[in-house]
Structure 1
């Protein structure tokens, strides 16, 4: 006989809040393992859920929830950072039905944000900031590029050489005006007769 796992319902916002807070606390004290929590941290999070809510879940169920919340946060962050000032202080988005439908075609999690705002966005930000990247120019902990908040001075690039652009092969040299020998030596003809 196989051991069948019980299906759990994560519908309680309080359970999610406790889950997020416990994950933040574990990341603060024990750091990350890959993009998630360490094995010992999952045990602590599960114990807190059981103690505070009598909510019993295993590691795989918690990891699935963690990944789901991370994806939902990434979509929320993308919408929040979208130009046009569509995000408002009530933690919702001012978008037309057409805009929602266009975004929903790009990501399945959009509809979940359309019907209900992201609860406790500050907890999501604490947990997933720097662990979530959105867009082509985004940065994440596994990025090979420097963090976008790092600043560089010009002396960091002093050793680099600037290459002169090569002339285009299809541009005839006769169309590019060349300085005369007098112009290049600094002497020009005085056309005013002075």
Structure 2
């Protein structure tokens, strides 16, 4: 248990698409250069990714925050991909939306946890970088 208040982790906001893009590109670079430990980047790679975020965006995060963000992006990507690939669900890349009735959304919500995340206006279609990262991390 932490007793020193100065040791408390600062909450960060990952609202910038540029920060996410830099984060994923740095992950790809580290994965390509240094490989991975199990399912994640090596500890030294996480440090380099953090340095890249700090240098490029003055965005300061620790390993746990980066890992949490990675897990969140991965889950969101998997949810989007599952829904996109389902028969009968029509995805429109121009509007970045799924053309489904409320009843169909409710039915999907039973199968796909947090599917309503995909209805948010600020939901960003997974970048090519997402696909590259997830393919490299999980398909090797």
| TM class by smaller structure | 0.7 to 0.9
In the TM superposition, what is the alpha-carbon distance from 1:120 to its structure 2 partner?
A: 4.3
* Structure 2 unaligned spans of 5+: none
Residue of structure 2 in register with 1:26 after alignment: 30
TM-score of the two chains, using structure 2 as the length reference: 0.84
TM-score of the two chains, using structure 1 as the length reference: 0.63
Q: Which has the larger Rg?
A: 1
In the TM superposition, what is the alpha-carbon distance from 1:123 to its structure 2 partner?
A: 1.1
Deviations 1:27-73 (A, max 9, x none): 11112222221111101110111011111000000001111111111
Number of paired residues? Answer: 134
* Structure showing the higher strand proportion among its residues: 2
Q: Distance in 1 between matches of 2:130 and 2:25?
A: 9
Q: Distance in 1 between matches of 2:56 and 2:114?
A: 28
Q: Which of 54, 73, 88 in structure 2 is aligned with 1:69? A: 73
Contact 1:17 1:120 in 2 (8 A): no
In the TM superposition, what is the alpha-carbon distance from 1:25 to its structure 2 partner?
A: 1.2
Deviations 1:112-157 (A, max 9, x none): 222144344211110112645xxxxxxx55xxxxxxxxxxxxxxxx
* Structure showing the higher helix proportion among its residues: 2
Structure scoring higher RCO (CA < 8 A, sep ≥ 6) equals 2
Tell me how large the CA RMSD over aligned residues is. Answer: 1.9
